[in-house]
Structure 1
Amino acid sequence: MAKRRVSSSESGVTAPASGGPAASGSGDCSVAVRVRPGAGRNRVGGRYDGRHGPALIVAVAAPAVDGKATEAVRRALAEALGVRPGAVTLKVGATSRDKVFTVAGDVGPRLGELRDGTA
């Protein structure tokens, strides 16, 4: 069966006008991520203007096979944002390099530092 691409408006992902993380209620944020699997080392930082809006670049050493890269990204993102790994869940993009994660807690300031190099 052919896969159909879902636009961000269909998927329910919303981005605020400021380009920051989207609040989904109860202190959770949606974080757009651009994955670079198979990197020499794990690194979180930088900006990519992707299909889900301004995205944080996450490079991981894990290969893009059987969800290994996605799990490595989830853990690297949690560590970089200063939350526990269980607070980060995949929302959109299981098989794509462009993903959206939901992060429990207020991570807006830290996300801005990592993505845009601002405080």
Structure 2
Amino acid sequence: MAPPSWLIVRNSDVLIDVHAQPGAKRSAIVGEHGGRLKIAIASPPVDGKANSALIAFLAKTLSVSKSSIEIVNGETSRQKRFLIKQMTESECLNKIFGAL
């Protein structure tokens, strides 16, 4: 089975394309939006708080440290790309689909 369009494998890392929805009632993965993984975040999009909350949410969901996650693209946009270091495609998908 081919990986979803929002997941890109690069060597021993994965890239995840995310559509962020800041200011939600609770943080959760809510599905797909425009070929990206849609994540609702309970933090407002002010002073980088939503980005920090997204990194913390992804770290918890994927069971990795926050330092293993970095924003590659879209720091000030809802459309973001995250690099998750030292994670395989199957590990990532199992953790994400387990969170749905």
* TM-score between the two structures when normalised by the length of structure 2: 0.81
Aligned-pair CA distance for 1:41 = 1.0
Higher strand residue share: 2
Q: Which residue of 1 aligns with 2:24?
A: 39
Q: Which residue of 2 aligns with 1:28?
A: 13
- Per-residue CA deviations over 1:42-101 (Å, capped at 9, x if unaligned) read 11241112xxxx311111111001111011001101111121111000000011001000
Distance 1:45 1:80 in 2: 13
Unmatched runs of 5 consecutive residues or more in structure 2 = none
- Number of equivalent positions: 97
Distance 2:51 2:13 in 1: 20
- The answer on 1:93 being equivalent to 2:69 is no
Q: Which residue of 2 aligns with 1:19?
A: 5
Aligned to 2:25, the other structure's residue is in SS state: coil
Moved runs in structure 1, 4+ residues, more than 4 A? Answer: none
Higher Cα Rg, which structure: 1
Report the identity percentage: 28
Unmatched runs of 5 consecutive residues or more in structure 1 = 1-15
**With CA pairs under 8 Å and 6+ residues apart, which has the higher RCO, 1 or 2?**
2
Q: 1:96 to 1:106 in 2, by over 3 A?
A: same
Query: Contact 2:23 / 2:43 at 8 angstroms: preserved in 1?
Result: yes
Q: How do 1:42-81 residues align onto structure 2 when only pairs under 5 Å count?
A: 42-49=27-34, 54-81=35-62
Distance 1:41 1:64 in 2: 14
